[in-house]
Amino acid sequence: MDVEVKLIAEPEELIAWADTYDILLNPSIEDAVILLNYMEGHDYVIGIDEEGKMYRQDMAEENGEIEAYPIDDVIDKVCEWNYDLILDAEAHMTDPKDFNEYSEYQSRYESLKADEKRLDRLFDKTCYGKEIIEIATELADRVISQIEKGKEPGAAAVTVAEDIRNYSTGKRGR
């Protein structure tokens, strides 16, 4: 790809980018640190071109692939990694070798859960989060409408469950 990308190395740079190109995101310094640290921890960096378009580069390989990667995808991927790490920490806490390992993973778990709270707030601002909220609102409105028409709440819940199953699994979101 023949695009000149300026890497975002500092949280302040990510905040400055958001202030210009995605004002509704409004990340705090802590949010920006989390996003950049997770990307780095998974051998990626993000950068922008001269027009502010965001890219991701794979740093695990020399001359790693550079691909267009919007901030919504960055947040979605970091949320996914956070979730996987939480599951891993829980698994280690369930069957630790000793108390020290349990303590280590308990501390890690608590830190990851703190990250999760911040990431959930960011995720809600992504196109994926907005879509989920829209669908949830639509489903809730359908249930309320069915209950108002005299349908039992249990039957209305079955209808919602069917709607959720029918929702395309090819769509993104948590």
Question: What is the pTM (predicted TM-score) of this model?
Answer: 0.84
Residue 167 has a pLDDT of: 64
Residue 173 has a pLDDT of: 46
Residue ranges of domains in the chain: 6-123, 127-166
- Following DSSP, what letter does each residue of the chain receive, concatenated? -----EE--SHHHHHHHHHHH-TTT---HHHHHHHHHHHHHTTEEEEE-TT--EEEEE-SSTT--EEE--HHHHHHHHHHHHHHHHHHHHHHHHS-SSHHHHHHHHHHHHHHHHHHHHHHHHHTTSHHHHHHHHHHHHHHHHHHHHHHTT--HHHHHHHHHHHHHHS-TTS---
| Mean pLDDT, contiguous 10-residue spans, the chain (174 residues) | 87 97 94 98 96 95 91 98 97 92 96 98 95 88 83 74 65 47
